[in-house]
Structure 1
Amino acid sequence: MTIKNHESGEMLGHPKGLFLLFGTEMWERMSYFGMRGIFVLYLTQAATAAAMGWSHLSFEQLQSNALSILGTYAMLVYLTPVIGGWLADNKLGQRKAILIGCLLMMTGQFILGTPHWMIPGLERLFLWCGLTLLIVGNGFFKPNISTMVGDLYTPGDQRRDSAFTIFYMGINLGSILGYFVVGSIGEKINYQYGFLAAGMGMGIGLMLQLFMARRYLGDIGNKPAAQLALAKEGKHKPLSQQERDRIKVVLVLGLFTVMFWTGFEQAAGSMNLFAKYNTDLVFWGWEMPASWLQSVNPLLVVALAPLFASLWVRMDDREPNSPVKFAWGLLMLGVGFLAMVGAALQIDGNPSAKASVVWLILAYFFHTVGELCLSPVGMSMVTKLSPLRYTSLMMGLWYFFTGLANKAAGEVGRLVGEAGPLATFGGVAVSSIICGLVLFLLSDKLVDWMHGAEGKQARGTAIDKSPLSAPYAEIAQ
């Protein structure tokens, strides 16, 4: 069968559809990271506290409250993809789910951006409604955009890890836009205008899918994966032992991702507040917005991702397997927090002292190297190991682990105000390094459970260079 209305051909050695998904994800991430970059700052300002009825709280209590809200929000953003993935697999198809998600998130940002003076007495209601729409919209969007990247490639195609690394550049280009555009508007003009700008970015992503998906994706994502699996197999069979083993790999590595993202997501919480109140951000008399510092990570991803994508392909048989890449990611996270220990030592015992911004830049550098070893590789791995009829659901489950980590990140961030930055950052550093070493020891067993999805057996598979994955190429519409 041939896919109808599909734009054939490649760009930079990859299907053109990859770059449409790249662009959609870029604008969605601009919306998400832009909002996240200013959210705790918005919640801790005096005007917001007065509008929300939090004026009785001390500044330290406002910070703790903001981190708790951020942690719960981020957790739910990553938990709802389990439901959104199931609905896409069984009812909607990935394309419809993505459109619903874009629309809900755009509306949520606009609600958050409604100025307080327009809704006197309803500020708290609008806060919770906006956050709810963002959470539900993410649930529809997040697992399905990533799954469709995997659907562009046939099983065994060596370009898959490279494709997810390129896709990951879209995520980080979006976050750069978010931190600079939304962050600048929020911190220099008005935080709520920043939320409106984030909503406009989400609207651009919606337009891309509405007007370009048919041309560049063809029928990919139109039908629920469960229907495709049923058409291919004739009936839904019980999971085989091989499929169960592969799912176990996803679950085990998912537990280690909780540790990674618990540390990494300090960027939006405790590290953001440390940058705002404990770091010297004044250069030649001008104070840099604290949210700009978070852009160091995505800037480094954009710079380093092509190198990593090329590296994985060039290494060929010497390429590390996914569990080993994950272990390196955890070790790099730990090294990054050792830099934060240096920052904490610089201000330890002196409340008026300011840490050098160099410490945070070093931390973000090592965190970025760890992220590139773990995050795009993890998304690629889920599409390799998941049974066809559960692909979006398994991607949603993968994000479920990230959701748990985001809530844990909020709780760890609150410890900075209780145990202090030195003890907190040092504890995260030690825990990350230990987890990385444990994962090195488990890696061979996990590769056995993959049953040839990685390594020489997978590389030896004949590769159809068509940009369409096997399920879509074989099933009649």
Structure 2
Amino acid sequence: MSATTLKPHQKELFGQPIGLYILFLTEMWERFSYYGMRALLVLYMTTQTIGDDRGPGLGWTNQEALALYGWYTMLVYVMSIPGGMIADKLIGQKKAVLVGAIVLCLGHGVLVLTDIWAFYTGLGLVILGVGLLKPNISTMVGGLYREGDIRRDKGFSIFYIGINLGSLLATLIVGLVVKEWGWHAGFGLAGIVMVLGLINYIIGQKYLIHVGNLTKDKDDPNEISYGKLYGKLFKSPVQLSFTVILLLASAYGWYKLEWGYGLLFLFLTAIASLLMMIYRELDSQVYKDRFMVLLLSFIMVIIFWGAFEQAGGLMNLYTETNTRRMLLGWEIPTVMFQSLNAGFIIIFATIVAGYWAKRQLKGKEASSLFKMALGIIIMGFGFLFMVFAAMEFENDGSSSMLWLVLAYLFHTIGELCISPVALSFITKLAPVKYASLMMGVYFAATGLGNKVAGIVGESASEFGEYAIFLGILVFTVVIGALFIMLLKPLKRLTHGAEDNEREMHNDETEGFELADPKLNN
């Protein structure tokens, strides 16, 4: 079939489906809005109500701000689970992304207002919008590729560049906008760019005709009934017993902690029960083993983001108060340091992806599990530089911003080994009918990591930054090393899900040359 007779959704650009670039741009603008908001949030909440050039903040303590930051960033991702369910059962992934983008536009628009009700309402709408958009757009990326297509990992890496290009632009521009026009101008800018993302997604629908559609055929083996799964729970003694134990633990958490934690524990109990029933209903041991190793990999996800997300919380506050930020007579806005991570990703994303692809084609260890465990270790070593920064601050009363640059560099390399890889790993191992749900569970694990980050950041007021940074360093390196030690038995549980990618690459490239010459090497 010649290129001129290809339908829009069949066309490629640089060896990848054009639909990838539509999703790339949509996610780029959505991440601009999210990371712009994320970079401002803690600083806005801790700024005093008077006497700041950027306008009045909320005047909260660091501990109060980090607590809300943890809840907000957690809920943004935890809502991916109902977002995935809604897509799977009601409207499909494609429409879920559309609705999510619209809600996000509304949320950022409300945040322009200065009233406290607008602050909470805007955050709530952003949480709902991201919950619908985030898991489903990532699942759509996976749907662009056939099973075993080696371009999948590189496609996710390209998609990941879009995420971080949005983050880079946000953290470079929003900080300057806030410095010139105030906090709410920064919130408004996030809303404007989200409208751009929505427009791009609507225009690009012709390239996405074949992915993200809802299947309503009752005879379809991929049809899901969550109600029936929960109903079968009462006929499954083992799963029911675990559910009762989790419910009792949730009630205890509600009593001992606060109602927010009680609701969170109840929600997690409901999800855990559903996952247990899905595992029970899978019709082969291969699927069950893959499902189990996927859930185990989410432990790494929670730990990674629990450490990494200090960037928007504790490290952000540390940069504001303890770091020498003068460069050639100009004080660099704190928000702009958030751009280091995104900038490094854009520089190193294809380099890291290419390195792993070459290792894989040479038959060397390059499994997703190995990459993820190594990513935790590399990211953990980034906190070694924050330990040095805290030591310098204790001695001199301030610390060099060079430590921050090195920390963000190591955090970025670690992120590139785990985050895009985990997204691709889910699309390889998750049962097809539960693809959106499992992507939602992944983002929920990310959200739990964000909450852990907030809790750890709050403890700095009691233990100090030095102890927190050192503790994160030791813990992450130990956990990463433990997963590497368990690599062989965990890989056996995947039953060769990644083993055929090299052969598929050879088969795919025998008949035609990819548009990007670099992808033919």
TM-score (norm 1): 0.89
The correspondence for 1:200, drawn from 192, 196, 204, is 192
Residue in structure 2 matched with residue 429 of structure 1 by the alignment: 473
Which amino acid in 1 is paired with 2:144? Answer: L
CA contact (8 A) 1:6 1:219 kept: no
- Sequence identity of aligned pairs in percent? 40
Residue in structure 2 matched with residue 135 of structure 1 by the alignment: 127
The correspondence for 1:459, drawn from 491, 502, 517, is 502
Aligned counterparts of 2:370 and 2:333: Cα–Cα separation in 1 = 37
Residue in structure 1 matched with residue 101 of structure 2 by the alignment: 102
Residue 231 (structure 1) shift: 3.2
- After superposition, residues 155-194 of structure 1 pair within 5 angstroms as 155-194=147-186
CA contact (8 A) 1:4 1:219 kept: no
Which amino acid in 2 is paired with 1:338? Answer: L
Aligned counterparts of 1:410 and 1:230: Cα–Cα separation in 2 = 45
Residue 68 (structure 1) shift: 0.8
The correspondence for 2:316, drawn from 272, 288, 296, is 272
Residue in structure 1 matched with residue 15 of structure 2 by the alignment: 13
CA contact (8 A) 2:375 2:417 kept: yes
Aligned counterparts of 1:157 and 1:319: Cα–Cα separation in 2 = 19
Residue in structure 1 matched with residue 220 of structure 2 by the alignment: 231
Aligned counterparts of 2:123 and 2:50: Cα–Cα separation in 1 = 15
Aligned counterparts of 1:382 and 1:48: Cα–Cα separation in 2 = 48
Aligned counterparts of 1:383 and 1:432: Cα–Cα separation in 2 = 26
Residue 327 (structure 1) shift: 1.2
Post-superposition CA distance 1:404-423 (Å, at most 9, x none)? 11011011111222211100
Aligned counterparts of 2:319 and 2:468: Cα–Cα separation in 1 = 16
Residue in structure 2 matched with residue 66 of structure 1 by the alignment: 65
Residue in structure 1 matched with residue 47 of structure 2 by the alignment: 45
Matched, 1:389 2:389: no
Which amino acid in 2 is paired with 1:269? Answer: G
The correspondence for 2:403, drawn from 354, 359, 367, is 359
The correspondence for 2:210, drawn from 210, 219, 233, is 219
Distance change (3 Å), C-alpha of 1:187 and 1:66:
farther
Distance change (3 Å), C-alpha of 1:263 and 1:389:
same
Aligned counterparts of 1:7 and 1:136: Cα–Cα separation in 2 = 29
Residue in structure 1 matched with residue 444 of structure 2 by the alignment: 400
CA contact (8 A) 1:161 1:312 kept: no
Residue 461 (structure 1) shift: 4.7
Aligned counterparts of 2:450 and 2:299: Cα–Cα separation in 1 = 13
What residue ranges of structure 2 are gaps of 5+ in the alignment? 226-280, 512-521
Aligned counterparts of 2:408 and 2:434: Cα–Cα separation in 1 = 35
Post-superposition CA distance 1:228-261 (Å, at most 9, x none)? 7953679997442211111111110101111110
CA contact (8 A) 2:48 2:57 kept: no
Aligned counterparts of 2:443 and 2:222: Cα–Cα separation in 1 = 28
Secondary structure of the residue that 2:148 maps to in structure 1?
coil
Aligned counterparts of 1:232 and 1:6: Cα–Cα separation in 2 = 29
Aligned counterparts of 2:202 and 2:395: Cα–Cα separation in 1 = 56
Distance change (3 Å), C-alpha of 1:375 and 1:447:
same
Which amino acid in 2 is paired with 1:176? Answer: L
CA contact (8 A) 2:307 2:453 kept: yes
Distance change (3 Å), C-alpha of 1:266 and 1:212:
same
CA contact (8 A) 1:26 1:172 kept: yes
Residue 8 (structure 1) shift: 2.6
Q: Which moved further from structure 2: 430-439 or 123-132? A: 123-132
CA contact (8 A) 2:44 2:57 kept: no
Residue in structure 1 matched with residue 383 of structure 2 by the alignment: 337
Residue 385 (structure 1) shift: 0.6
Distance change (3 Å), C-alpha of 1:272 and 1:228:
farther
Residue 222 (structure 1) shift: 2.1
The correspondence for 1:308, drawn from 338, 352, 359, is 352
Aligned counterparts of 1:250 and 1:337: Cα–Cα separation in 2 = 27
The correspondence for 1:126, drawn from 97, 118, 142, is 118
Aligned counterparts of 2:158 and 2:428: Cα–Cα separation in 1 = 17
Residue 159 (structure 1) shift: 1.0
Distance change (3 Å), C-alpha of 1:430 and 1:408:
same
Which amino acid in 2 is paired with 1:175? Answer: S
Residue 360 (structure 1) shift: 0.5
Q: Which moved further from structure 2: 282-291 or 368-377? A: 282-291
CA contact (8 A) 1:154 1:464 kept: no
> How many pairs were matched up?
446
Residue 313 (structure 1) shift: 2.5
CA contact (8 A) 2:217 2:223 kept: no
Which amino acid in 2 is paired with 1:286? Answer: W
- After superposition, residues 277-296 of structure 1 pair within 5 angstroms as 277-296=321-340
Secondary structure of the residue that 1:231 maps to in structure 2?
coil
Residue 460 (structure 1) shift: 3.1
Residue in structure 1 matched with residue 373 of structure 2 by the alignment: 327
CA contact (8 A) 1:327 1:439 kept: yes
Matched, 1:369 2:413: yes
- After superposition, residues 463-474 of structure 1 pair within 5 angstroms as none
RMSD across aligned positions (CA): 2.4
Residue 64 (structure 1) shift: 1.2
CA contact (8 A) 1:331 1:433 kept: yes
The correspondence for 1:25, drawn from 21, 24, 27, is 27
Aligned counterparts of 1:233 and 1:394: Cα–Cα separation in 2 = 14
CA contact (8 A) 1:102 1:202 kept: yes
